Chains A and B, each alone.
Chain A
Amino acid sequence: MYTKNGNTEDILWDVLVIGAGNAGLCAAITAAEAGCSVLVLEAAPPDMRGGNTRHTRNLRATHDAPTDVLIESYSVAEYFDDLMRVTKGVTNQELATLTLEKSAELTRWLGTRGVRFQPALSGTLNLGRTNAFFLGGGRTMLNSLCRHAINCGVEFLYQTPVQEMQLEDGFCEGVLLEDGRRFRAKKTIATSGGFEANLDWLSEGWGNAAQNFLIRGTPYNKGVVLKSLLARGVKSIGDVDQCHAVAIDARAPQFDGGIASRIDAVPFSVVLNKNGERFYDEGEDFWPKRYAIWGRLVAGQPDQIAYAIVDAHGLTRFMPSVFTPIKDDTIAGLAGQLGLDPAKMQATIAGFNKACPEGPIDQQILDGKKTAGLSPNKTNWAAPIASPPFYGFPLRPGITFTYMGVEVNARAQMLMEDGRPAANLYAAGEIMAGNILGQGYLAGIGMTIGSVFGRIAGEEAARALNRGLK
Chain B
Amino acid sequence: MDEINLVEMAKAKPSDKRPYDQNAHDETARIMQICNACRYCEGFCAVFPAMTQSREFDVADTAYLANLCHHCGACYYACQYAPPHEFGVNVPAVLAERRAETYADYAWPRPLGQLFARNGLVVSMAIVAGLAITLGLMLAMIAPHLFWGVHLGEAAFYQVMPHNVMAGIPLVITAFTLLAMGIGAVRFWRDVGAGWPGWQGLTEAISAAGSLKYLGGDNAGDGPGCPVGDDRNSHNRRHAHHLTFYGFMLCFAATSTGTIYHYVFGWQAPYGYFSLPVILGTVGGVMLCWGTAWLWQLKRAMAEEMKSLRHLGMDYAFIWLLFWVSATGLALLALRETGLMGLMLAIHLALVYVLFLVLPYSKFVHSLYRSIALILYSVKR
Contact = CB atoms under 8 A, between A and B. Distances in A.
Nearest to A136: B78
A316 B40 CA distance: 21
A143 B231 contact: yes
A140 B77 contact: yes
Output the residue of A119, A137, A143, A256 with the most chain B CB within 10 A.
A137
B72 to A, nearest CB: 11
B380 interface: no
B229 interface: no
A118 B42 contact: yes
Interface string A52-73: 0011010000000000000000
Contact of B37 (A45, A122, A137, A321): A321
Interface string A314-334: 001001111010000000000
Interface in B77-98: 77-87
B18 interface: no
A136 B231 CA distance: 12
Interface in A114-128: 116, 118-119, 122, 124
Contacts of B43: 118-119, 122, 133, 135-136
A316 B53 CA distance: 12
A48 interface: yes
A47 B223 CA distance: 24
A258 B36 contact: no
Given A137-B80, A143-B77, A143-B231, A322 B42 contact: no
Contacts of A55: 80
Given A57-B40, A259-B40, A139 B33 contact: no
A45 B33 CA distance: 27
B224 A147 contact: no
A137 B41 contact: yes
Interface in B230-244: 231-232
Contacts of B55: 316, 320
A47 B33 CA distance: 22
A262 B43 CA distance: 20
Interface in B197-230: 218, 220, 223-224
B300 interface: no
Given A119-B220, A135-B218, A256-B85, A140 B78 contact: yes
Interface in B258-299: none
A260 interface: yes
Nearest to B54: A320
B81 A258 contact: yes
A138 interface: yes
B77 A139 contact: yes
A351 interface: no
A11 B36 CA distance: 48
A137 B55 CA distance: 22
A253 interface: yes
Interface residues of B, number: 31
B74 interface: yes
Contacts of B37: 259-262, 319-322
Size category, A interface: 20 to 34
From B36, B79, B87, name the one whose CB has the most chain A CB atoms within 10 angstroms: B87
Contacts, number: 87
A137 B40 contact: yes
A143 B80 CA distance: 12
A116 B218 contact: yes
A253 B86 contact: yes
Nearest to A114: B224
A202 B82 CA distance: 28
Interface string A27-55: 00000000000000000010110000011
A316 B54 CA distance: 11
Contacts of B78: 136-137, 139-140, 143
A135 B224 CA distance: 11
Contacts of B79: 139
B218 A260 contact: no
B163 interface: no
B36 A320 contact: yes
Contacts of B83: 47
B77 A258 contact: no
Given A55-B80, A116-B223, A253-B86, A322 B231 contact: no
B34 A260 contact: yes
Contacts of A324: 33
A255 to B, nearest CB: 9
Nearest to A262: B37
A122 B80 CA distance: 21
B75 A136 contact: yes
Contacts of B81: 258, 260
Interface in B14-57: 33-34, 36-44, 55
Contacts of A116: 218, 223-224
B232 A147 contact: yes
B75 A139 contact: no
Interface in A247-290: 253, 256, 258-262
Contacts of A140: 74, 77-78, 231
24 contacts: A45-B84, A47-B82, A47-B83, A54-B80, A57-B40, A116-B218, A118-B218, A119-B220, A122-B43, A136-B75, A137-B78, A137-B80, A143-B77, A259-B80, A260-B37, A260-B81, A260-B87, A316-B55, A319-B36, A319-B37, A319-B39, A320-B55, A321-B37, A322-B38
Top 4 closest pairs, chain A to chain B, by CB: A137-B40, A136-B78, A322-B37, A260-B37
Interface of A: 45, 47-48, 54-55, 57, 116, 118-119, 122, 124, 133, 135-140, 143, 147, 253, 256, 258-262, 316, 319-322, 324
Given A137-B38, A259-B37, A319-B37, 8 more contacts: A119-B220, A135-B44, A136-B43, A143-B77, A143-B231, A259-B80, A261-B37, A322-B37
